[in-house]
Amino acid sequence: MSAHDVDLAIIGAGPAGMAAAATAAQLGLKTVLLDEQKGPGGQIYRSITQPAPADENILGKDYYHGRSLALALKNTSLDYRPGTSVWALDQDLTLSLSGNGQSQRIRPRRLLIATGAQERPVPFPGWTLPGVMTCGAAQILLKSSALVPTQPLILAGSGPLLLLIAAQLHRAGVAIEAILDTTPPRHYLAALKYLPGALRNLPLLAKGAGLLAELRRAGIRRITGVSELRALAGPDGTLGQVRFRQGKKAQTLSATTLLVHQGVVPNVQLSRSLNLSHDWDQLQQCWRPHTDSWGESSLPGLFVAGDGAGIAGALAAEAFGKLAALQIARQLNVISAQQRDQQSQRARRTLNQQRAIRPFLDALYSPAREFLLPADETLVCRCEEVTAGELRRLARDGCPGPNQAKAFCRAGMGPCQGRMCGLTVSQLMADERQVPNSEIGYYQIRSPIKPLRLGELADSAH
């Protein structure tokens, strides 16, 4: 099958994609919504149509807000296709999809990438040991399977999601041995200057304070100012102990599970594969595709909205998705500029309010240097087992950037296609060569960006 008469194709059914889809479909745009997950929700509202835990207090009411978004999809003429991965994009906006073992190409008039964020990989010595996983992974097990890790359990890292997931696990009755907070103490001071912006979003500030209070009341040990995190293997080759330093004091705790988190970063795999222009976000320490205020990227007709366009959270993603859909409807002459502006007022206000608190959060929870520029012995590329020391050496020997490093040491050539090491490799090389990240650049990403059976590739050739 080839060209389709589609006005808008949306990749990703998280808050951004769901809000965009509902808005576009209501305006009469012929809309296709694609997501590789089996149900709508994206990351925050994962499994929202069938959450696994019986007790709704565990995930909390912000999670169940996603129900209204998923419901809104039902009442439209939308062509929603779960279980569908987008594995390639062409400059003319043609998408290559695969679902149920079959490949297909569609060429919509407009395209919206709403593929969200991934957790920032957290490289430190021992992070490849079984027993170490991300906080987000534990949350996925909770939402979709009602599975929780048993004790001794340690959480380590920095950021609001770390505290949220600690609270959710606690509400689920899971004993938490300790939360190791790696936020460098000087970040509190650095964040202060952004406090006025943060005060524009009191509900979110209050939520953060509430989580901290909840964890304190629960008597969970929170060790602050943690550095030199490392995971050590037990006799069976899986995680046995967690070692770290607080101030001058080195400590070791036993653990069977260590959940790590250092914030989330845009998932740039698709936008990179098209060579869209990307900006380095210094405060968020990550790349994001360049967009205008409606989400249109450097490629006309291609929009990016939600966390994939820069981290701002779920409510911002929902608002941004709506704004992108309105602008697309405007470009396709379904509504006038005036109608667009009228209908976008609330979403624009929400987006601005949600974004206002970001500089404060980003400054406070910016990853400590040891996770951005890990110690030499740390595996940076998990797939090909390339250490930070090796990458530093390459940079010192004159290797100009990540793509050349790839050729020398295979970093980024494994199955994850650089999703786990891309940011770290760029940052290590920029640091070693003393040039800005924007100059060092990022891996060249090639499609297919998702695993495909060869049979599917063959299908798509027809």
Partner 1 sequence: MPGASKFERLACASNDWIQVMVEGQPVKVRPGDSAAAALLAAGQSAARTSAVSGDPRAPYCLMGICFECLLEIDGVPNVQGCMVQVADGMNIRRQQGAPVLNDSLAAGVPA
Ligand X SMILES: Cc1cc2nc3c(=O)[nH]c(=O)nc-3n(C[C@H](O)[C@H](O)[C@H](O)COP(=O)(O)OP(=O)(O)OC[C@H]3O[C@@H](n4cnc5c(N)ncnc54)[C@H](O)[C@@H]3O)c2cc1C
Q: Which of 6, 8, 17, 373 binds ligand X (CB under 6 A)?
A: 17
16: contact with ligand X by CB under 6 A: yes
Tokens of 422: 């891309």
CB of 36 to partner 1, least distance (A): 7
Among positions 73-92, residues that touch ligand X (CB under 6 A) are 85-86
Q: Are 69 and 47 in contact (CB under 8 A)?
A: no
- φ/ψ of 113, rounded to 5, equals -90, 115
Closest CB 325 distance from ligand X, rounded Å: 13
- Contacts to partner 1 from residues 350-369, by CB under 8 A: none
Among positions 27, 132, 314, 423, the unique one binding ligand X when judged by CB under 6 A: 314
Binder among 313, 402, 418, 422 for ligand X (CB under 6 A): 313
**β strands within 382-446, DSSP E:** 386-387
**Least CB distance from residue 220 to ligand X, whole Å?**
18
CA distance 7 to 16: 18
Two tokens at 428? 């290590």
Cα–Cα distance measured from residue 131 to residue 315, given in angstroms and rounded to the nearest whole number: 32
- 30/143 with CB nearer partner 1: 143
Angle, CA 324 vertex, CA 319 and CA 328 arms, to 5°: 150
Distance in angstroms (rounded) separating the CA atoms of residues 240 and 232: 6
Work out what residue 146 binds among partner 1, ligand X, none; the CB cut-off runs from 5 to 8 Å by kind: partner 1
Alpha-carbon span 63 to 141, nearest angstrom: 15
Backbone angles phi, psi at 384, to 5 degrees: -100, 5
Q: Which of 256, 259, 251 is nearest to 224 (CA)?
A: 251
The token duo for 214 is 């909840």
Member of 93, 108, 119, 262 binding ligand X (CB under 6 A): 119
Binding flags for partner 1, 68-107, as an x/- string (CB under 8 A): -------------------x--------------------
Is position 264 an interface residue for ligand X (rule: CB under 6 A)?
yes
Distances (CA, A) of 382 to 83, 162, 371, 424: 27, 23, 15, 12
What are the DSSP E strand ranges found in 68-114?
A: 79-81, 84-89, 95-99, 102-106, 110-113
Asked if residue 159 binds ligand X (CB under 6 A), the reply is no
Nearer to partner 1, 6 or 174 (CB): 174
Q: Which of 420, 423, 429, 430 binds partner 1 (CB under 8 A)?
A: 420
126, 136, 295, 418: which one binds ligand X (CB under 6 A):
136
The window from 115-123, 223-231, 254-262, 290-298 that contacts ligand X (CB under 6 A) reads: 115-123
**420 and 382 Cβ atoms separated by less than 8 Å:** yes
Select from partner 1, ligand X, none the partner in contact with residue 308, using the beta carbon and a kind-dependent cut-off of 5 to 8 Å: ligand X
CA distances, 367 to each of 296, 304, 307, 381, 454 (Å):
29, 25, 18, 19, 40
Which CB atom, from 66 or from 240, has the smaller least distance to ligand X?
66
Residue 423 is a binding residue for ligand X (CB under 6 A): no
Q: Give SS3 for 300.
A: coil
Q: Which positions touch ligand X (CB under 6 A)? A: 11-17, 34-37, 42-44, 85-86, 114-119, 136, 139, 161, 164, 264, 270, 306-308, 313-314, 317, 450
Q: Which positions touch partner 1 (CB under 8 A)? A: 36, 38, 43, 47, 50-55, 58, 87, 118-119, 121, 128-134, 136-137, 140-142, 144-150, 172-173, 236-238, 256-257, 267, 382-385, 412-417, 419-420, 444-446, 448-454, 456-457
